[in-house]
Amino acid sequence: MIVSGSWRGKRYAVLGLARSGLATVRALVASGAQVTAWDSNEAARGSVLPQLAGGGGPSRSDGGGAAVEDGGLRPPPLHQPSAGPPPPVGEELVLADPVEIDLTGFAGVVVSPGVPINRHPIAAKARDAGVPLIGDIELFAQARAELPPHKVVGITGTNGKSTTTALIHHILETAGIPARLGGNIGLPILDQAPLPEGGVYVLELSSYQIDLTQSLDCDVAILLNITPDHLDRYDGFEGYAASKARLFAMQSKGHAAIIGIGDEASQDVAKQVARSGRAEDLTRIAPGVCMDQSRWPALQGPHNAQNALAAIAACEALGVDQPSIDRGLASFPGLPHRMERVATRNGVLYVNDSKATNPTSTAPALAAFDRIHWILGGQAKTGDLDACRPGFGHVARAYTIGDATGMFADLLKDEFPVERSFTLDAAVKSAAAQARAGETVLLSPACASFDQFRDYEDRGAQFRAAVGALQ
């Protein structure tokens, strides 16, 4: 666990008690801070004391970050704001909604990235009290001075950041350099043991996390791309792009800035960095660079060429030797649900790309394979598939599922044969019956999953199960 003496004796509110929120509560309490914790979910509120008492011991997760009763353990009584002042539930911890209490004197309100601060009342409440809204990444940044000497790599972008983050972490471990994976991937960073001297923290950073961070000075900062996404949280696309750009504004001169310039918004960020007097710090990753990816089985397709180039540049900036970089690229296993090769049956390759939740993130998968039986659909984020159009020539047949079944079938009917499968299981069975040796059955939905599945991971797991059940 990462703790800091700078938090001792200070008061913090923590809003959102899923994994990162609980990790934040644990770290603050362990550091001697006074914490007011809250979640709109009653089960999540009830999980706080068991989690603190046993590090998660007797309680178990229901998959959504909330603990449920196990072995007769019951959560503490839950405070409702209408019942008056909140009761203490521990010497340094109380349960109360920070929107309902006086925040005067608080050092910060630590907000889960899932809280929409552009429309949640906590934003105005904290602003009126003169209290900063921060996230767990900002607390990590504040604790850095007390950690053994180390470096931090921060990776952002609309698409590809999870793969690039995991790839950098893998190359570092291949080179024998101590590393931790965190941020928007893996375990919450505050829950992880501090690295020894010379270690590297590799952080995937969403725009939401950057919004809640003020002082993270990355030794290496990476921007892969910026395409429209999450626009319900911003004042237009420009606001979303500005959020990504802040990762570089927090850097000191002399720290490496690596930026993919395949889109206009990212090109503008690169120009901003150069104009700020940091041209020597800047590495631009151009699109369409020809690379021999044949030795990297988990890094196929043009998008992974860019991911690999960004990872190579980052590791070179960290001083990793070229042989270790080469070994790491070749041995990288890939990530679940991201162009994951599930099986080959009768010469047909089955690929799980369930993480592709918008058309822009599906486009690279369509470019990576020939003769594709494409399974797509779910909760659509856009009313078109224009970003996927360059890959349409690779599609032999499409199978639409979920809420977008009809809309996507209508959009694609003039491009190639389309079946309205409605369910994932039906789509897999039909695709398996029609695919021939050398072809690929690809789940790359271009949609969110919540119409039929718990999340994209559940969707990918059910795809694996459906492939496994094929006769």
Topology (CATH) of 5-134: Rossmann fold (3.40.50)
pLDDT the model gives residue 230? 72
Q: Which two tokens stand for residue 155?
A: 């990776």
Closest CA to 371 of 398, 345, 394, 399: 394
Same fold, 148-331 and 340-468: no
Decide the pairing of beta strands 447-448 and 379-380: antiparallel
What are the structure tokens assigned to 210, written together? Answer: 């950057």
Q: Which residues of the chain have pLDDT under 70?
A: 51-91, 288, 290
CATH number of 148-331: 3.40.1190.10
CB 396 within 8 A of CB 469: no
**The pLDDT value given to residue 55:** 46
Beta bridge partners, 220, equal: 153, 256
CATH class of the domain comprising 340-468: alpha beta
pTM (two decimals): 0.81
What is the 3-class SS of the chain, one letter each residue? CCCCHHHCCCEEEEECCCHHHHHHHHHHHHCCCEEEEECCCHHHHHCHHHHHHHCCCCCEECCCCCEECCCCCCCCCCCCHHHCCCCEEECCEEECCHHHCCCCCCCEEEECCCCCCCCCHHHHHHHHHCCCEECHHHHHHHHHHHCCCEEEEEEECCCCHHHHHHHHHHHHHHCCCCEEEEECCCCCHHHCCCCCCCEEEEEECCHHHHHCCCCCCCCEEEECCCCCCCHHHCCHHHHHHHHHHHHHHCCCCCCEEEEECCCHHHHHHHHHHHHHHHHHHEEEECCCCCCCCCCCCCCCCHHHHHHHHHHHHHHHHCCCCHHHHHHHHHHCCCCCCCCEEEEEECCEEEEECCCCCCHHHHHHHHHHCCCEEEEEECEECCCCCHHHHHHHHHEEEEEEEHHHHHHHHHHHCCCCCEEEEECHHHHHHHHHHHCCCCCEEEECCCEECCCCCCCHHHHHHHHHHHHHCCC
Q: Which two tokens stand for residue 448?
A: 């969110």
Residues 6+ apart with CB under 8 A from 225: 157, 158, 159, 160, 260, 262, 263, 266, 306
- The type of residue at 108 is G
Q: What is the rounded distance in angstroms from the CA atom of residue 110 to the CA atom of residue 209? A: 11
Domain boundaries, the chain: 5-134, 148-331, 340-468
pLDDT score of 90: 52
What local confidence, expressed as pLDDT, does residue 233 receive? 84
